[in-house]
Amino acid sequence: MQIVMAASECVPFAKTGGLADVVGALPRELVKLGHKVTVYLPLYARVRPMIAENQRTAVESITIPFRYYNRFVGIVDGGARDGVQFYFIDCPELYDRPDLYGPNGGEYLDNAARFGLYCRAVLEATKLLGVPDIFHVHDWQAALIPVYLRTVYASDPMFRRAGVVLTLHNAAYQGKFPPVTTEQLLFPWDLFTMDKVEQYDRFNFLKGGVVFSDMLTTVSRRYAEEIQTPEFGEQLEDVLHNRAPDLRGILNGVDYAQWDPAVDRNLAAHYTLDDLKGKRACRADLLHAFGLEHVTETASVIGIVSRFVTQKGFDMVSRISEELAARDVAVAALGSGEPIYENFFRDWAFRHPASVAVRVGYDDALSHKIEAGADIFLMPSRYEPCGLNQIYSLKYGTVPVVRATGGLDDTIEEWDAAQGTGTGFKFHGYEPHDLLAAIDRALAAFKDQDGWTKLMRNGMARNYAWSGPAREYAEVYKEVVRRRG
Ligand code: ADP
Ligand code: GLC
């Protein structure tokens, strides 16, 4: 089958979160299953030097019409990697900027045009470079592809058989813009109704994608259920519930070529389930990197790697921060995002310089060192569609403490010391004392060396390779092709 993947992020080119990891890994796995996969990405400023060496112009100019003007985009052939073909949409006036979405975690004012153009350019490019059986589009930035396909391109004979699968990685990011976006992107006004792209008087990219795609997926079974409820649906719960028969939850996999302590090139030492010795060196290396060399042997090192946004539950952490710092722990946190959380971590570290340290920023190598060097990984998310860091943590023998929501609930099983079963610690409510109680269970377990080693090994033995989820996606594609007949 021929598949086009459309997304705004993909490792190694452009990443702000887990979406990039997924779009970097899934296509390769589909190729292994015998499919032909092409990935289309915007040509951001940061991508240009990465493809400078072997880039080739695939299409010199495609006209993308706007209301009173045209834009002209080039398609740059980024070559094939592991059998996956990469094309980049070149439109310097929209993408040649320092950030993917906006400065300091914010939004560029023309994001509707930036990603509207992206969607239309992908469709136009495929008419010249190959129309696939399936467009697999990810999140709001690519969600207008099905909307264009089934409206202004509906009678294009080249697209008659093409199916669309939309994956929702996070229902909270919808791409909401003023009503006038409808005509700015050259859609007819009859599209701006509550059963199509309108949501409370906003033009809503993600809603359009949900309405017009053949099938929908999201990144864990639990989240597929959650988004049909008011608590997690972000006001799209009714539309999503209507489409429940076409919605599947497929848990993300892990790219073990990148995330395995036996081969990870960012670590001070390697280790495996059978030989854990190297993890001590990784812990020392991590403490050194964070200036926490004086932390004692008995302390549990708690690691955090995250976007600092409300989703991730750090408001709860701030409420227990003093109590937690009084325990026998050290905290090594890496992240960036909203100033309120960046400032909380800075302030916490300032108050406890010997045991709490934070690095505000984005640092891939350091994120691997934290996965390897910490004893406990903390992810108290308010909601979590899948979550990758807790799954990475399992492989690194770093015990996750998580809130039981979305993919966190699907992947982590509570430790039972008597039976020797389980992989981590979970709490259910959204109350600071529930979080602290889960951390305390972990700290108590840490004191029992043998039990803790068993707990680490239970997690390390779990396998979340992409081969399983890739087969599930292939089934979804087949179903869509069957339906479009
Ligand atoms: P989300 O996509 O909601 O951010 P995930 O757990 O799915 O959450 O994925 C987050 C990914 O982004 C992981 O690969 C994680 O290591 C990475 N990441 C997040 N923040 C940082 C950071 N500050 N520096 C390096 N990597 C980060
Ligand atoms: C989103 C979600 C995260 C998920 C990732 C990849 O960013 O917040 O939970 O793991 O997408 O699917």
Domains (ranges, CATH) in the chain? 2-253+466-484 (3.40.50.2000), 277-460 (3.40.50.2000)
Ligand closest in space to the Cα of 408 = 2
Q: What's the average model confidence in pLDDT over 287-295? A: 97
Q: What share of the chain is helix, strand, coil (3-state, %, to 5)?
A: 40, 20, 35
Distance separating alpha carbons of residues 151 and 139, to the nearest angstrom = 19
Q: Residue 355 CA to chain centroid, in angstroms?
A: 30
Closest CA to 361 of 317, 305, 311: 305
Q: Is 216 left (phi over 0), alpha (psi -120 to 50) or beta?
A: beta
Report how far ligand 1's centroid is from the alpha carbon of 317 (Å).
18
Pairing type for strands 84-90 and 134-138 reads unpaired
> How do residues 114-133 score in pLDDT, each as one tens digit?
999 999 999 999 999 999 99
What share of the chain has pLDDT > 90, as a percent? 98
In ligand 2, the atom with minimum distance to the C-alpha of 17 is 7
Ligand 2 neighbours, Cβ below 6 Å, are 17-19, 22, 169-170, 219, 252, 384-388, 407
**Nearest 5 degrees, angle CA 362-CA 429-CA 217?**
60
The helix or strand, by DSSP H or E, that contains position 345, with its residue range, turns out to be: helix 339-351
Long-range contacts, 429-436 (Cβ 8 Å, 24+):
430/313, 430/316, 430/382, 430/403, 431/316, 432/316, 432/319, 432/320, 433/320, 435/313, 435/316, 435/317, 435/320, 435/380, 435/401, 435/403, 436/320, 436/323, 436/324
Distance separating alpha carbons of residues 245 and 288, to the nearest angstrom = 52
Report how far ligand 1's centroid is from the alpha carbon of 364 (Å).
9
Q: What's the average model confidence in pLDDT over 337-346? A: 96
Report how far ligand 1's centroid is from the alpha carbon of 71 (Å).
34
Pairing type for strands 356-360 and 376-379 reads unpaired
Which protein residue's CA is at the shortest distance from atom 9 of ligand 1? Answer: 18
Report how far ligand 1's centroid is from the alpha carbon of 387 (Å).
9
Q: Report whether pLDDT(54) > 80.
A: no
Helix axes 364-373, 278-289, angle to 10 degrees: 130
Q: How high is the mean pLDDT of the chain?
A: 97
Structure confidence at residue 178 as a pLDDT band (50, 70, 90) = very high
> How do residues 402-444 score in pLDDT, each as one tens digit?
999 999 999 999 999 999 999 999 999 999 999 999 999 999 9
User: What pLDDT score was predicted for residue 104?
Assistant: 80
Q: Is 387 in the pocket of ligand 1 (CB under 6 A)?
A: yes
Ligand closest in space to the Cα of 361 = 1
Length of the chain: 485
Q: What's the average model confidence in pLDDT over 378-385? A: 98
Q: Is 381 in the pocket of ligand 1 (CB under 6 A)?
A: no
Q: Report whether pLDDT(468) > 80.
A: yes
User: What pLDDT score was predicted for residue 156?
Assistant: 98
Q: Report whether pLDDT(55) > 90.
A: no
> How do residues 66-103 score in pLDDT, each as one tens digit?
999 999 999 999 999 999 999 999 999 999 999 999 99
Report how far ligand 2's centroid is from the alpha carbon of 168 (Å).
9
Distance separating alpha carbons of residues 230 and 53, to the nearest angstrom = 49
Structure confidence at residue 308 as a pLDDT band (50, 70, 90) = very high
Report how far ligand 2's centroid is from the alpha carbon of 22 (Å).
9
Ligand closest in space to the Cα of 306 = 1
Distance separating alpha carbons of residues 219 and 222, to the nearest angstrom = 9
Radius of gyration in angstroms for the set of CA atoms belonging to the chain, rounded to a whole number: 23
Q: Report whether pLDDT(52) > 90.
A: no
Structure confidence at residue 401 as a pLDDT band (50, 70, 90) = very high
DSSP-derived secondary structure letter, 152:
T
Q: Report whether pLDDT(485) > 90.
A: no
Which protein residue's CA is at the shortest distance from atom 20 of ligand 1? Answer: 306
Q: Could you give the C-alpha distances from 365 to 72, 258, 342, in angstroms and in order?
A: 38, 11, 20
